[in-house]
Amino acid sequence: MLITCPYCGPRDVSEFAYQGDGNRNRPDPASTDLVAWNAYVYDRLNPAGAHNEIWQHAGGCRAHLAVVRDTLTHEILSVRFAREKGAPAHGRRKSGAKA
């Protein structure tokens, strides 16, 4: 699988480290709501199709990337720097944002 880093260009997936689901919202760090923290840590969706993910280009520029990947085909649909405003075009985030 190739991931096209916006800075380095197309690279093999072995250069990247998966950082997690790009759809999850972390509870307030000061929160003592155990239900919210348990849901954040343990509840996971297993979507079929386009899915927002966070990857780090650990073997290259070390940038964090917001990737939209099809979980059925592993096709990379879009890649952008995670620090850029807006959300990927797929998933549970704002659907009007450009990837």
Give the pLDDT confidence of 11-40 residue by residue, as tens digits: 999 999 999 888 888 899 999 999 999 998
The CA distance from 22 to 20, in Å, is 6
Judge whether 33 lies within some domain.
Answer: no
Give the pLDDT of residue 86.
62
Asked whether the predicted pLDDT for residue 92 surpasses 60, the reply is: no
Q: Which sign, positive or negative, has the C-alpha torsion 71, 73, 9, 87?
A: negative
pLDDT tens digits along 36-85: 999 988 988 788 999 999 999 999 999 999 999 999 999 999 999 998 87
Q: What is the pTM of this model?
A: 0.74
CATH number at residue 17: 3.30.2270.10
Give the pLDDT of residue 26.
85
Judge whether 61 lies within some domain.
Answer: yes
Q: Which sign, positive or negative, has the C-alpha torsion 45, 51, 54, 59?
A: positive
Which domain range does residue 77 map to?
A: 1-24+46-87
Judge whether 95 lies within some domain.
Answer: no
